[in-house]
Amino acid sequence: NAGVTQTPKFRVLKTGQSMTLLCAQDMNHEYMYWYRQDPGMGLRLIHYSVGEGTTAKGEVPDGYNVSRLKKQNFLLGLESAAPSQTSVYFCASSPGDETQYFGPGTRLLVL
């Protein structure tokens, strides 16, 4: 089992560019989550999904969109990147409303 994987590991964007972060899990988990972590702070929830085809907003959803077309994948999109979106992005999954398993993170720098 690979667990939770994230692609890419690191990316540099210019302001206004778009990109998609991919999260994949091979544990057949129903729930998936996207968090961001800014320097010296805890993680904040961006969006989450409780099943294939469903998504919901978290604490800081503005500027992001998500899709869960397949159970094993959860995509996070930035339509027009801003420097304030420079952060480390973590994906997680869980079998239910319990323990979450996190991926290794994607470092994003927006210039």
Partner 1 sequence: DAKTTQPTSMDCAEGRAANLPCNHSTISGNEYVYWYRQIHSQGPQYIIHGLKNNETNEMASLIITEDRKSSTLILPHATLRDTAVYYCIVKRVDSSYKLIFGSGTRLLVRP
- List residues binding partner 1 (CB under 8 A): 4, 31, 33, 40-45, 48, 50, 56, 58-59, 88, 90, 92, 94, 97, 99-105
The b/e string for 24-42 (b: 16+ C-beta within 10 A; e otherwise) is: bbeeebebbbbbbeeeeee
Of the pair 17, 45, the CB lying nearest partner 1 is at 45
Rounded to an integer, what distance in angstroms lies between the CA atom of residue 21 and that of residue 77?
Answer: 6
Least Å distance between CB 91 and partner 1?
A: 8
Structure tokens at 109: 């720098």
Least Å distance between CB 97 and partner 1?
A: 5
